[in-house]
Structure 1
Amino acid sequence: YGIGEQVEGDEPTDWFAALSRVSKKKPAWKKQAHSNIVKAQNELNWGKESKVLTALYHRVGLSSD
């Protein structure tokens, strides 16, 4: 994915240089994947927190259920 274009020679050092340049650029799909992971984690955490809050509301008697 975009690595072949940046490699001048077949020496290992060129490969490492190209890889580091590519990884620094952080392609769009990586950014998208990262934001999706963060979004999913936030939703999971919110799910846990809302369950805890619901349990607390029931305990204290504030629940509308």
Structure 2
Amino acid sequence: MEPMIFMGGVIVVAGGIWTVVDLLQDAGLLTRSAEQQVKRRVTQACSGFRSRDISSSTACRAGLLP
């Protein structure tokens, strides 16, 4: 019973988010160009985190070095 309630909650939340995004697009507050700019900024931020070098102490604590 709990998995069904959980999945129902996920569906309701996703539907709510989808509805809010549609309303913002209809009102003209969320445009495609603004959406693309946000995606570009998020991609740049995430790639910046991935390209950082791991220091030896961090790698040691994470168990990556012997």
Which TM-score applies when normalising by structure 2? 0.42
Which TM-score applies when normalising by structure 1? 0.42
Q: Which has the larger radius of gyration?
A: 1
Higher normalized contact order (CA 8 Å, seq sep 6+, divided by chain length) = 1
